[in-house]
Structure 1
Amino acid sequence: NFDNSGSGKCVTGDCGGALKCSGGGIPPVSLIEFTLNGHDNKDFYDISLVDGYNMAVAVKAVGGTGTCQYAGCVNDLNTNCPAELQMMDSGSVVACKSACAAFNMPEYCCTGAHGTPQTCSPTKYSQLFKNACPTAYSYAYDDATSTMTCTGADYLITFCPTS
């Protein structure tokens, strides 16, 4: 709930108590990431669960040229979130933490000795996210199946999509 000045608090993804967020929310959060007019004037976009999951989200390119793939996570990961990753509020699972946030270990965070694509592999937790949301980033080096590209498109962003 927010007051008339835009002050309040979100159960998940809170942004310093402000309705108008000028940065990222506090994890766990489902992220939609864009780089517009990047390399070769392409737009790059993705859904990232690297910082956890709190709601289903989707991006659909409208018009444009190139591959312009759909990026989305329509499954409710909160219903199948392992107990050790659950973020609870009033007895309900409201978000699913990333393994990095839950355990803060290099093999889950892709840091230290695990800080390269060659040394950081998917874990059972990132695989759970990937199986539920095949086009979303599930860990730091999940580029091959997770970054979408398009040129000259408009984008339809949907929160809580059903398909």
Structure 2
Amino acid sequence: MHITIASLIPKTNSVSLMYAQGAKLSEGARIFTITNECEETIWPAVIPGDKFDGGGFALKAGQSKVFTAPVAWSGRMWGRTGCSFDQDGNGPCETASCGSTLKCGVGGKTPATLAEFTLAKLDFYDISLVDGYNLPISITPVNGNKNGGGNCSVAGCNSDLRDHCPNELAVKVKGKTVACRSACDVFDTDQYCCRGSYGGPSTCPPTNYSKPFKAACPGAYSYAYDDRSSLFTCTQGDYIITFCPNK
């Protein structure tokens, strides 16, 4: 897939200027642009979050925030929905809450769509549905050096799996499906959780629950050993993380 940088730049002057100049803040850092293209406010969460506004913040529809993380940072990002925080940053969320705080210090409550990164000389990144699904997310590398290794491809789950979630996996609020749990989370069996006698890539194949996830989101992990088509690499890239990329 050939994608122009101009088509990927969030609509904020400071970010546009930065990419238009082709500048990186530092060769020892990565620039993360987190963008909300959903039709409602979401509350992105990041762990470890010391470089990302303490690990949690609000993004209104159409808003973006830019952060810089050092090479050697390794962590995950996800979006929380239906949150109600007070002035002290305390309150509940309908999906993916990390306790009852805006600033996340722990992983989100499942189900949650995860964007995962390990930054190094060669960066690794992926979108994971292993812990379930609550929002569409994509990761788009920009300014990556393909000659240095990796393919710098877009990773993501652009489809809204809430629309087709099986009833036994659905999380509902007031009759509306707000998230879709994993089969491991619901049934807690070795087969669905890839453990015990199923604890390896040769013994834990896709299941009837993970296959529809994979069909809808071929560029995302659908189960624990779904590496071949789901794990991506890039050298010296910056990253745009977009929630609801097709909205």
For the aligned pair, the TM-score class normalised by the smaller chain equals over 0.9
1:27-106 paired onto structure 2 within 5 Å: 27-37=110-120, 41-66=121-146, 67-106=151-190
Could you report, residue by residue, the CA deviation over 1:60-81 in whole angstroms, capped at 9, with x for unpaired residues? Answer: 0011123101011110000000
Structure 2 residue 95 is the aligned partner of structure 1 residue 12? yes
The structure having more radius of gyration, on CA atoms, is 2
Q: Post-superposition, which runs of at least 4 consecutive aligned residues in structure 1 deviate over 3 A? A: none
1:142 to 226, 240, 245: 226
Aligned-residue identity in percent: 54
Could you report, residue by residue, the CA deviation over 1:12-61 in whole angstroms, capped at 9, with x for unpaired residues? Answer: 00110111112211000000000000xxx100000000000000001000
**Matched AA of 2:134:** N
Q: How far apart, in 1, do the equivalents of 2:171 and 2:199 lie?
A: 26
For normalisation by structure 2, the TM-score amounts to 0.64
**Matched AA of 1:136:** A
The alpha-carbon deviation at position 104 of structure 1 amounts to: 0.5
Q: How far apart, in 2, do the equivalents of 1:154 and 1:14 lie?
A: 27
Consecutive unaligned residues in structure 1, runs of 5 or more = none
Q: How far apart, in 1, do the equivalents of 2:133 and 2:203 lie?
A: 24
Count of aligned positions: 160
The alpha-carbon deviation at position 10 of structure 1 amounts to: 0.8
**Matched AA of 1:117:** P
The alpha-carbon deviation at position 160 of structure 1 amounts to: 1.2
Q: How far apart, in 1, do the equivalents of 2:225 and 2:145 lie?
A: 26
The CA RMSD measured in Å over matched residues stands at: 0.9
1:26 maps to 109
The alpha-carbon deviation at position 140 of structure 1 amounts to: 0.2
- Range with bigger deviation, 43-52 or 65-74: 65-74
For normalisation by structure 1, the TM-score amounts to 0.96
**Matched AA of 2:183:** A
Consecutive unaligned residues in structure 2, runs of 5 or more = 1-83
Q: How far apart, in 2, do the equivalents of 1:24 and 1:160 lie?
A: 21
Q: How far apart, in 1, do the equivalents of 2:207 and 2:241 lie?
A: 29
Q: How far apart, in 1, do the equivalents of 2:234 and 2:92 lie?
A: 35
Question: Helix, strand or coil: the match of 1:124?
Answer: coil
Could you report, residue by residue, the CA deviation over 1:91-110 in whole angstroms, capped at 9, with x for unpaired residues? Answer: 11010000000110110000
